[in-house]
Amino acid sequence: MTNALITGITGQDGYYLAKFLLGKDYKVYGMYRRSSLDVEERLFELMDKIELLEGDVTDMPSMIKILQTIKPDEVYNLASQSFVPASWSQPISTSEITGVGVLKLLEAIKAVNPKIKFYQASSSEMFGKAQETPQTEKTPFYPRSPYAFSKVFAYWATVNHRESYGMHASNGILFNHESPKRGKQFVTRKISHSVAKIKLGLQRCFTLGNLNSKRDWGYAGDYVEAMWLMLQQKFPGDYVIATGEVHSVREFVKEAFNVVDMDIKWSGSGLNEIGRYNGKTVVKVDEKFFRPAEVDYLIGDYSKAKIELGWKPKTLFKELVKMMVENDLKYLRGS
């Protein structure tokens, strides 16, 4: 049986990856920080199938002890301060967890058993002010947030350990990926949850930031398979994981309302833009949700993953939005 350690297992990707690996007959260990809230919220259906451990990637001695105890064959590092807006108010802790923490984890693996295969959750946010379109594994990074530059540090730490010490260490440069398990602070889940509440008469309106921001949105359940495939290769590497489609936040909102048969109409522009349904305002814009440095357009080219991993997305935009809104409707109805 293959042993896998998933750091940051309490997040969206941790749930889907654990579920996927259990389906491959893995022994799954999940690591979480003591400060993580609602540890069982996403994992409740898996709690009797996985083993949870308290740990912190910024504490190298504790990571060495965990690695020595469970002897993993594969480590999937999903631990991160992953909410981009929060990284401006918490730049130091974001850098310590999302950046330096990865270096410490790599060093712990090198010290305990450098043959452990390592996956690093890199991000399309590293491309930031994108230097070319679409973005590939060769596109230069131009990070536009503390979260993004921390991810760049972690990316190069992973590459360095691969090239310097022969470690099987790979970066998955994942573009935005969503699901019903996404935290409500993230824009896509905020949209799906708010639309469901408006449909059920539980809310009148919700507020967003930059409606023109465009992203390549995929399904987290598809993307965790790519993580696993990277560690099954004879040689490690870095891979863009994306859908190759781009949609604006405004399109996501409109499609979410379409799921509940509410055709909204837009008027105004910029900070004065609003979305109405039957003459009533249901979506407003507030500058407090704008980033200090915006990332306007990200779209990935996953050709390398398709050729070398045999991976491609199964769930595209409309199906993803429908899944999220319908799940929130079900949740709010208590069914």
State the pairing for strand pair 280-285/51-54.
Answer: unpaired
pLDDT: is 314 or 270 the higher one?
314
- pLDDT tens, 166-210? 999 999 999 999 999 998 889 999 999 999 999 999 999 999 999
Number of domains the chain is built from: 2
Q: Are 143 and 311 in contact (CB under 8 A)?
A: no
Residues spanned by the domain of 47:
3-179+216-245+298-315
Confidence band of 9 (pLDDT split at 50, 70, 90): very high
Write out the two tokens for 288: 């407090």
Tell me the residue type at 64.
Answer: I
**Residue 135 corresponds to which tokens in the numbers above?**
């973005």
**Domain co-membership, 48 together with 28:** yes
Query: What count of other Cβ atoms lies within 10 Å of the Cβ of residue 309?
Result: 19
Whether 119 and 199 share a structural domain: no
- Mean of all residue pLDDT scores within the chain: 93
* Same-domain pairing of 200 and 239: no
Same domain, 230 and 257: no
Predicted pLDDT at 39: 60
91 confidence band (pLDDT: 50, 70, 90): confident
Do 104 and 240 reside in the same domain of the chain?
yes
User: What digits encode the pLDDT tens for the residues 138-158?
Assistant: 999 999 999 999 999 999 999
Tell whether 123 and 71 lie within a shared domain: yes
How far apart (Å, rounded) are the C-alpha atoms in residues 160 and 145? 23
| Residues 113, 65 share a domain | yes
Give how far Cα 150 sits from Cα of 119, 144, 250, 281, 323, Å: 16, 10, 28, 38, 31
Give the helix ranges, DSSP H, for 71-180: 84-89, 91-94, 101-112, 146-165
Q: What is the pTM of this model?
A: 0.94
pLDDT category of residue 287 using cuts at 50, 70 and 90: confident
- According to DSSP, the residues that pair with 277 across neighbouring strands are 280
For 181, the token pair is 């398990």
Distance CA 36, CA 54 (A): 10
Residue 228 CA to residue 121 CA, distance in Å, equals 12
Residues 223 and 285 in one domain: no
Distance CA 299, CA 276 (A): 29
Answer yes or no: do 266 and 146 share one domain. Answer: no
Check whether residue 56 and residue 172 sit in a common domain: yes
| Lowest mean pLDDT across 76-85, 152-161, 228-237 | 76-85
55 by Cβ neighbours in 10 Å (0-12 / 13-18 / 19+) ranks as buried
* Domain CATH number, residue 288: 3.90.25.10
For residue 44, the model assigns a pLDDT of 82
Q: Give me the CATH number covering residue 164.
A: 3.40.50.720
Same domain, 10 and 116: yes
Do 111 and 207 fall within a single domain? no
Cα-Cα-Cα-Cα dihedral sign, residues 225, 18, 7, 73: negative
Which of 22-31, 289-298, 303-312 has the least mean pLDDT? 289-298
Confidence grade of residue 329 (pLDDT, cut at 50, 70, 90): very high
